[in-house]
């Protein structure tokens, strides 16, 4: 494609973004754009699937929410570019300069690509960020699950709440990076420099830390089950120790709550575990109706099949929690973090209100999800009938067969 034709398409795209006449959404899918000079171009929401940007100059380019599925950025310059919310599944960013770039909420998971050359079938392609520069990049809440980031440099990068499960980060420089609240399950950090990293509240279950430097790192409240620190240079840093005593107290409180439900209040007592860390517990299948779990940490906890109707989960952290088939009717999830949560077939429809003697009334309690964060959640088959989702963040969710009948969707954020 000739450079003048590309620039004309970019100009028309700019008009399309502001709904002006002559505007047309840019579609450069599968185009050869090697060495293209597109610095400071405005290509937000453009279709760029499979485009080849090898050694292209995209410095300070606006690529917000662009479709870059399977795109090739080998050795390209994306310094200062805005890729927030972009679809980068299966993309190749090997040796790419992403210094100070914004990838907040970007999707960099593996992608399923059709085979070329007339071959039938498809292949799974892992996003490749090996040897790229991410120094100072904003990657908050980005989804990098299973990506290849070996030998990359991400000094001072912001990765708060990012999904890095199964990522290969061997021999990388993450000095001073902020990984607080990130999901790092099974992530391989072998041989990496992580001095001064903020890992507070991160889920590091089964992470590989062989020959890693963690001097001056912050591991407060990090979940490190299955992590060996034997070959880690800790300096003065102390590995976190699970509060087994508190976990036992929490288990006792939950057991008492289930007894209270089962005996209709004759035994046990209602539980109120406000701001507790429940990451060591398995709550699948339990009857916890009416429980108060306000502000608790339930990240990656299994709540599959649990009864949580009329419960208070406001402000709770349910990042990557398994809520498959859970009963959340009438629950309060206002401000809850449900990023990457599995909500398949969960019921969040209104809960019928009964009298103290169990008689039916004409009233219902709708489920409250106002200002909740559901980015990247699996909402396949989830029932949101009558739920209040005002100001909820539903970007990059799986909405296959999701039910929103009579739901309040005022000011909801969705992927365009």
**Tens of pLDDT, residues 173-216:** 999 999 998 999 999 999 999 999 999 989 898 999 999 999 99
Q: How confident is the model at residue 362 (pLDDT cuts 50, 70, 90)?
A: confident
Q: Give the range among 17-31, 152-166, 274-288, 297-311 with minimum mean pLDDT.
A: 274-288
341 closest CA partner among 312, 368, 304? 304
Q: Give the range among 7-21, 135-149, 239-253, 397-411 with minimum mean pLDDT.
A: 239-253
- Indicate whether 307 belongs to any domain: yes
Q: How far, in Å, are 119, 256, 257 from residue 263 at the CA level?
A: 62, 11, 10
- Indicate whether 359 belongs to any domain: yes
Average pLDDT over residues 151-172: 95
Q: How confident is the model at residue 347 (pLDDT cuts 50, 70, 90)?
A: very high
Give yes or no for residue 36 having a pLDDT over 70.
Answer: yes
Average pLDDT over residues 115-132: 73
Q: How confident is the model at residue 119 (pLDDT cuts 50, 70, 90)?
A: low
Distance CA 369, CA 361 (A): 24
Q: What is the pLDDT of residues 63-109, one digit of tens each?
A: 999 999 999 999 999 999 999 999 999 999 999 999 999 999 899 98
- What was the pLDDT predicted at 217? 96
- What was the pLDDT predicted at 416? 59
- Indicate whether 232 belongs to any domain: no
Q: How confident is the model at residue 353 (pLDDT cuts 50, 70, 90)?
A: confident
- From the number of C-beta atoms within 10 Å of its C-beta (0-12, 13-18, 19+), residue 167 rates as buried
Q: How confident is the model at residue 403 (pLDDT cuts 50, 70, 90)?
A: very high
Torsional sign, CA 268, 272, 273, 279: positive
Buried b (16+ CB within 10 A) or exposed e, 262-278: eeeeeebeebebeebbb
Tokens of 342: 């599995």
- Indicate whether 282 belongs to any domain: yes
Tokens of 268: 């046990």
The residue assigned the tokens 């409250």 is 368
DSSP state letters, 137-194: -B-TT-B-TT-B-TT-B-TT-B-TT-B-TT-B-TT-B-TT-B-TT-B-TT-B-TT-B-
- Indicate whether 304 belongs to any domain: yes
Q: How confident is the model at residue 120 (pLDDT cuts 50, 70, 90)?
A: low
Q: How confident is the model at residue 114 (pLDDT cuts 50, 70, 90)?
A: low
- What was the pLDDT predicted at 398? 85
CATH of the domain at 337: 2.160.20.80
- Indicate whether 14 belongs to any domain: no
* pTM of the model as a whole: 0.77
Tell me the three state secondary structure of residue 250.
helix
The residue assigned the tokens 């992580």 is 194
- What was the pLDDT predicted at 354? 79
- Indicate whether 54 belongs to any domain: no
Residue 408 structural domain: 246-416
- Rg, C-alpha atoms of the chain: 23
Q: How confident is the model at residue 381 (pLDDT cuts 50, 70, 90)?
A: very high
β-bridge mates for residue 87, sequence order: 67, 107
86 closest CA partner among 105, 70, 101? 105
- What was the pLDDT predicted at 245? 56
β-bridge mates for residue 158, sequence order: 138, 178
Tell me the three state secondary structure of residue 10.
helix
Distance CA 187, CA 202 (A): 12
Rounded to the nearest integer, the mean pLDDT of the chain is 92
Q: What is the pLDDT of residues 288-336, one digit of tens each?
A: 999 999 999 998 899 999 999 999 999 999 988 999 999 999 999 999 9
What total number of domains does the chain contain?
Answer: 1
- Indicate whether 134 belongs to any domain: no
Residues in the chain, overall count: 416
């Amino acid at each position: 494609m000739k450079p003048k034709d590309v620039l004309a398409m970019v100009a028309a795209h700019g008009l399309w973004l502001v709904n002006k006449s002559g505007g047309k959404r840019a579609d450069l899918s599968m185009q050869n754009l090697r060495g293209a000079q597109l610095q400071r171009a405005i290509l937000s929401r453009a279709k760029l699937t499979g485009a080849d940007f090898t050694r292209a100059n995209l410095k300070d380019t606006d690529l917000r929410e662009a479709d870059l599925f399977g795109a090739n950025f080998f050795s390209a310059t994306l310094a200062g570019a805005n890729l927030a919310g972009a679809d980068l599944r299966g993309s190749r960013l090997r040796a790419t300069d992403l210094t100070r770039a914004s990838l907040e909420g970007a999707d960099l998971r593996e992608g399923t690509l059709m085979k070329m050359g007339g071959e039938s079938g498809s292949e799974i392609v892992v996003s490749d960020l090996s040897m790229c520069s991410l120094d100072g990049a904003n990657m908050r809440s980005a989804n990098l699950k299973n990506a290849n980031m070996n030998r990359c440099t991400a000094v001072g990068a912001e990765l708060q709440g990012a999904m890095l499960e199964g990522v290969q980060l061997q021999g990388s420089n993450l000095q001073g990076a902020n990984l607080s609240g990130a999901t790092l399950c099974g992530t391989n950090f072998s041989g990496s420099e992580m001095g001064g990293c903020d890992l507070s509240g991160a889920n590091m279950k089964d992470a590989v830390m062989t020959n890693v430097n963690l001097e001056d790192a912050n591991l407060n409240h990090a979940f490190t089950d299955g992590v060996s620190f034997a070959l880690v240079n800790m300096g003065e840093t102390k590995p976190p120790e699970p509060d087994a005593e508190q976990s036992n107290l929490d288990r006792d409180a939950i057991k008492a709550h289930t007894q209270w439900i089962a005996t209709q209040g004759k035994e046990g007592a209602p539980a109120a575990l406000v701001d507790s860390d429940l990451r060591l517990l398995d709550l699948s299948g339990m009857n916890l109706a009416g429980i108060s779990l306000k502000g608790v940490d339930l990240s990656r906890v299994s709540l599959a099949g649990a009864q949580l109707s009329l419960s208070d989960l406001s402000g709770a952290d349910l990042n990557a929690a398994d809520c498959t088939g859970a009963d959340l009717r009438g629950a309060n999830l206002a401000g809850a973090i449900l990023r990457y949560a599995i909500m398949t077939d969960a019921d969040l429809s209104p809960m019928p209100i009964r009298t103290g003697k169990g008689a039916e009334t004409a009233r219902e309690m709708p489920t409250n999800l106002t200002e909740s964060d559901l980015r990247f959640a699996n909402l396949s088959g989830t029932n949101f009938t009558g739920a209040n989702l005002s100001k909820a963040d539903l970007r990059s969710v799986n909405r296959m067969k999701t039910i929103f009948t009579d739901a309040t969707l005022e000011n909801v954020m969705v992927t365009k």
